Amino acid sequence: MTKEELLTFLECNRSKLKYHTVYLNKKALEQFAIGYFLDSKSNKFLVYEVSERQSLIKIASFKNEEEAIEKVYEIVKFRCRM
């Protein structure tokens, strides 16, 4: 899945996201955030989720961006019950 495909999916399902916010290639510490970013230390894309108490939970790390996008897609579908 590409970034454009994920953006299209998110736009079409905006009402189902409810209180979740999705960040692509950006680290955010906002409640209920889901996303990925490039970690400069490990040079890998880290997929994360932020809990209601604003703790960052690292879910997975990938060498390429497409795999990270696919994982974010899976998390969004699960959390938002799509």
Copy the structure tokens of residue 25.
Answer: 């290639």
Task: Give the Å distances, CA to CA, from 75 to 28, 36, 80.
Answer: 16, 11, 8
Q: Residue 18: is its pLDDT beyond 90?
A: no
The pTM of the full predicted model, rounded to 2 decimals, is 0.90
Condensed to tens digits (0 to 9), the pLDDT of residues 29-80 reads 999 999 999 999 999 999 999 998 999 999 999 999 999 999 999 999 998 8
**pLDDT for position 12:** 92
Copy the structure tokens of residue 1.
Answer: 């899945």
- Which has more confidence, 34 or 1? 34
Report how far residue 77's alpha carbon sits from residue 82's, in angstroms, rounded to the nearest whole number: 5
